[in-house]
Amino acid sequence: MTVTLNSPAAVADSISETMEKIADLVFSDSVADDDAICITDKGRLCLHVMRSLSLTLTEAEEIVSELADYGIETADAFDDAYYGKFDGYHAEREFAEEYYLSMGVIDTDNPLFGYIDWQDVWSAELRYDYSFVGDIYVFKTSG
């Protein structure tokens, strides 16, 4: 089969489509892990990161490289550690606020809620257990 591509966008679309097909094969329930041994654990994690975070291959490789520094080297470890995406100017404080609200520690009806410095909460409490990877993705990085 010959495909003629006329633009860089078409090439990118073709590569993206091919990667999706590979990802579908790797993550298909019908394919046993033993049947896909040609794909390394790092490759599987990279494909999983691409699919989970909607990233390009290059972006996923950078994230996987950073995750290795925290001992996150499998798709299961990724799924267990991933908390969310925070890409605003005040990402650390936004994460801290969302984290404590989701835990039910405090709610917005509490009269003290408006006085909490969420950046201080991040700095004093959460930065020891969570890390920003790729500057916007939050992962639990301690036991």
- Determine the pLDDT at residue 2: 57
Share of the chain above pLDDT 90, in %: 58
Average pLDDT for residues 39-50, to the nearest whole number?
Answer: 87
pLDDT, averaged across the chain: 84
Give yes or no for residue 113 having a pLDDT over 70.
Answer: yes
Highest mean pLDDT of the ranges 16-20, 36-40, 113-117: 113-117
Task: Please report the pLDDT score of residue 36 as a whole number.
Answer: 46
Average pLDDT (56-71) is: 93
Pairing assessment for the beta strands 82-85 and 137-140 based on DSSP bridges:
antiparallel
- Are 17 and 9 a contacting pair, CB within 8 Å? no
**Chain segment 73-103, per-residue pLDDT in tens:** 999 999 999 999 998 889 999 999 999 999 9
Transcribe 51-74 into DSSP letters.
Answer: HHHT--HHHHHHHHHHHHTTT--S
The model's pLDDT over 27-41, given as tens digits with 9 standing for 90+, comes to 544 445 555 445 678
- Note the pTM of the prediction, 2 decimals: 0.71
Rounded to whole angstroms, how far apart are CA atoms 68 and 32?
25
Q: What local confidence, expressed as pLDDT, does residue 77 receive?
A: 96
Q: Name the strands in the sheet holding 137-140, side by side, starting at the edge strand that comes first in the sequence.
A: 82-85, 137-140, 130-133
